[in-house]
Each structure stands twice: as structure tokens, then as C-alpha cells.
Amino acid sequence: MTDDTQNTEVNWSIHVDGASNREGSGAGVLLKEGDKVVAEQSLQFRFNASNNQAEYEALLAGLKLALQLQIPRITVYCDSSLVVHQIKGEFQVKDPLLEKHWLITKDLISKFSKFDIIHVNREQNTRADVLSKLATTRQAEHTSALSQLTLDKLSFEQDTILSIIQVPDWRTPFLKYINTGAMPHNEPNLLLFRRRASFYTVLGNTLYRRAHSQPLLKCISNKEAEEVMTETHEGICGNHIGGRALAAKILRTGYYWSTIKRDCFSKLKACDNCQKHATLSETPAEELHTIEGLKKKLGEAKGEWADLIPEILWGYNTSIQSATEEIPFKLVYGAEALIPVEVSVPTLRTDLYDQSNNLQARSVELDLVEEERDISAIKQRARKQYIEQRHNKRVVHRSFNSGDLVLRRTEEARKPPGHGKLAANWEGPFRVLQNLGKGAYKLETLKGDHLSGTWNVSSLRGYQS
């Protein structure tokens, strides 16, 4: 080989390609010094690998070969668009197994003084493609620079998690797949399972789900899910909110499990206080059973009702309000509250707490709190206008003139006790004596006797003889 001085001046390049088919999996590596072929490698895999995994293994083999030869600068040519864009950081690595390949590859890349990777068409990578196919078929082809090797296992160590206290639950298949690559035996649709697994990642020994509402949602067991639902729905931060609103509040806190939406609706149906209000449409938390929550909690507390009022207010102040689309606690203090369930079942927010970073973030929140309050005030006014418009569309305006004959709604106190359900709902007719404005009227009988008090138009309707 050339010495170190010449190595820094020569353009070294690697052509890599991976192949996976029914006959097996393999990789081909072509190392070139300028236009001269220095080494060729054909690797056969003794394990099952997808096409993308084979591409990563080919890239890793090429990088390891270059490091063994102490090549400081390297250019890689690869015909896998996915691998090239993921290495460049242009594509997100969603597959858990590819993520492990990606981490090892980035670590090897950091050992080069200069690294570049270029995507080429398959026609420009024919020799590496031939070497990868040669590995899958294991045909003997002897050249002075060709070496045929065998790879017994994946480049990353497949860790096996053994626990005598962990009860298998919905997280177990995802943990096994991410850590060891093992597919569940009873899974009918393996492609669908792989797609679902791409939404999860493991930090330490804890499973997290990538989400839109939070960077990472902590995946919890069914028992922990029951505790979280109970605390959020009925505990100190409970407000007897609806099923979808309950699920949204739990997600915002940072928890997730596979049947969260269905369980939240089941929780709502199981609650006697919420039975008649269970609905599939999301109802704003402050409009859902704030009064009912007060009645239930304070009614059961008897003489200790005063001690439970803070719990009702806490639940109200930690729920998103439809008028402002914000949490009252946040509008007052500039930050979301840490609810008690986050202490009993810790989330990333509590585990990764740092005092110095928290103070800096808190200062930024306080600087922006006035702007958030102004935005919430605008949203509140817009909400009121929207509700007013919807209400006015349903309102049928009625008015009467002096002398018109009307019927008056029969109040419960004036219904004959012996008539029961057959009692008349309207009585009269009466004559309009005076229009007082704003829907208020003075009435008199047909004999001319004045009725005491005033009557609203909602309790009157026209009489037709």
C-alpha cells in the first residue's frame, strides 16, 4: 500500500451495494485509489436482512475497510437513495433497526478527516452490484483483489432484555423488535407492524412514541394507564371531561398507550356522573360537567365539601378552554402546570429537568406571556361572536301589539295537582295590554282584569280562534 504521505494526496473512493432476495442477502464493496481498483469484497450474510439493511451493512463494511487501511479522506458512491439522504440528514430515520445502523455509520464517519457520500444510478455502480449478487449466490470468482467474506450477525449488538418483574403487555412486541429485530410470531400483518414500529424509539429501557403534540410520548402499561385516567378524570386534576378531551389532555401531559382513545371513552361511559353526557364529539372541557363535577364531589363529601373545592378549580384551570384555546393556569403564570400524575408516573419532562435550563426557559416564557394573553383575548372575542351568530340564526323573533290575543305558558305551580301529565301546557287567551319593549308585555283577561307582573315573549304565543 502507499504510505501515509501519499494517502493524503490521493483520491480514495468506495462503491458499495447491498442485495437481498429469496436466495439470501449480501453486500459488495469496491475500494479504488483514483482509477485503480485496490480491493474488492463480497460479503455473504448468514442472517435475514431487508434490502435497506443490506445497503447499510455494505456501507459499514466499506468504511471499516478504509479505516483499516488508514485512509483519512474518502468518497462513497451508493445507489440507495434512502441511505444517502439519511446519512446526509435530509431524511428522517424512522425504522428502529435502521436507526441503529445509522448511529454506527455516523460514528465511523466521524473518524475520517473528510467524508462525502454521493448517490449514483445502478448503472454507475455495476461492479459493486455484481459483488453483492455474487455473495447471495456464493459463486466462486477468483481475482487477485477479490476477497469473499461471511458476516455472521448484524453490525450492531442485539441486546436481549430479561426481566423477572415486567409483565408482558402491548409494549413488549415493539421493545423486542427495536432491541433485537425479532418479529412477533402471532402478528398477521408484518408490514403493518413494521410501519407502526417506526413511530417508536427506546431510550434506556423505556419505550417512547414519536408524536405531533409532544416530541416524545412515554409509553405506559395498562395498569399505569388506569392510574393516569383516574387521576386526570376524577382525581385532583379531574374535571369530568369528555372522552376525546380526556385523551387530548393525557397526550398533552406526555403519556401514551395503544388503546388510549378507546379506554378514555370507556372511562367516560363507566362514570355514572358522565353517563348521560357520553358523546363521540369533542366538547370543551369547561362546558362539560363543571357543575356536575361540583355536585358529585361536593355531594359525596357532605360536611367536608369546602376541602374539595380546590380540586375542582385545579381541574378547571389545567384544562384547555374552548374560548381562548389555552389553559387558564398558563395565562396567569406563563407556563403549564406540573400535575400530580407526572410525579407518580414520571415523564421526560420530570426526568430531564435541569434547574439552569429551566430558569432560562422560564424567562423566555415570561417575556412572551403578554403576547399569549392578547392572542387569547382575541380568540375569546371571536368565539363569542361565532356563538352569537349561531344563536341568532336559530332565534325566531316574535312581537305582539296592543289588543292581540295570546296564550300564556302554564307554570308548574299553577297546574291543577289532580291532572298530572294531562295538565294543559298553555292557558288563556289573554289580551296584550301594553308592549313594554325588549320582549316584555303587560296582559289582561278578556273581561278587562289586569294581570300582575310582566310576561316575557318566550312564555307567550299567538292565539288563533
Give the rounded distance of the alpha carbon of 342 from its chain centre.
17
* Per-residue pLDDT at 411 exceeds 90: no
Q: How many CA atoms lie within 13 A of 36 on its CB side?
A: 6
pLDDT at position 156: 66
Mean pLDDT of the chain: 77
Whether residue 150 is predicted with pLDDT greater than 80 in this model: the reply is: no
Using the predicted structure, report yes or no on whether residue 461 has a pLDDT greater than 80. yes
Q: What's the confidence (pLDDT) of residue 124?
A: 72
As a whole number, mean pLDDT of residues 125-136 equals 68
Query: Which tops the pLDDT comparison, 40 or 265?
Result: 40
Mean pLDDT of 171-191: 85
Q: Give the three cell numbers for residue 61.
A: 463494511
The grid cell for 430 is 289573554
* CA separation for the pair 200, 102 (Å, rounded): 16
Which has the higher per-residue pLDDT, 149 or 57?
Answer: 57
Instruction: Give the highest mean pLDDT range of 40-49, 74-83, 120-129.
Output: 74-83
**CA-to-CA distance for 440 and 235, rounded, in angstroms?**
46
Distance CA 103, CA 31 (A): 23
Mean pLDDT for the stretch of residues 211-221: 78
State whether CATH 3.30.1450.10 applies to domain 405-462.
no
Q: What is the pLDDT of residue 430?
A: 92
C-alpha cell at 456: 316575557
Q: What is the pTM of this model?
A: 0.41
* Phi, psi for 190 (deg, rounded to 5): -70, -35
Average the pLDDT over each of 62-71, 386-395, 420-429 and give the range with the smallest value. 420-429
Confidence at 165, pLDDT banded by 50, 70, 90: very low
Architecture of domain 4-151: 2-Layer Sandwich (3.30)
pLDDT classification of 298: cutoffs 50, 70, 90 = low
Domain residue ranges of the chain, discontinuous segments joined by +: 4-151, 216-358, 405-462
Count of alpha carbons within 13 Å of 293, Cβ hemisphere only? 27
Q: What are residue 434's DSSP bridge partners?
A: 442
List Cα–Cα distances, 262 to 110, 265, 395, in angstroms.
Answer: 46, 5, 37
Residue 108 identity (one-letter amino acid): L
95-130: pLDDT as tens digits = 888 888 888 999 899 899 999 999 988 777 777 777
* CA separation for the pair 248, 320 (Å, rounded): 10
CB-CB neighbours of 303 under 10 Å: 6
SS (H, E, C) the chain: CCCHHHHCCCCEEEEEEEEEECCEEEEEEEEEECCEEEEEEEEEECCCCCHHHHHHHHHHHHHHHHHHCCCCEEEEEECCHHHHHHHHCCCCCCCHHHHHHHHHHHHHHCCCCEEEEEECCHHHHHHHHHHHHHHHHCCCCCCCCEEEEEECCCCCCCCCCCCCCCCCCCCHHHHHHHHHCCCCCCCCCHHHHHHHHCCEEEECCEEEEECCCCCEEEECCHHHHHHHHHHHHCCCCCCCCCHHHHHHHHHHHCEECCCHHHHHHHHHHHCHHHHHHCCCCCCCHHHCCHHHHHHHHHHHHHHHHHHHHHHHHHHHHCCCECCCCECHHHHHHCCCCCCCHHHHCCCHHHHCCCHHHHHHHHHHHHHHHHHHHHHHHHHHHHHHHHHHHHHHHHCCCCCCCCCCEEEEECCHHHCCCCCHHHCCCEEEEEEEEEEEECCEEEEECCCCCECCCCEEHHHEEECCC
Crossing angle of helices 222-233 and 243-253, in 10° steps, is 110
The set of cell numbers assigned to 455 is 310576561
Which of 33-37, 209-213, 260-264 shows the highest mean pLDDT? Answer: 33-37
The residue among 420, 421, 442 whose CA lies nearest residue 433 is 442
Lowest mean pLDDT of 39-43, 253-257, 366-370, 426-430, name the range.
Answer: 366-370
pLDDT computed for residue 440 by the predictor? 92
pLDDT of residue 235: 56
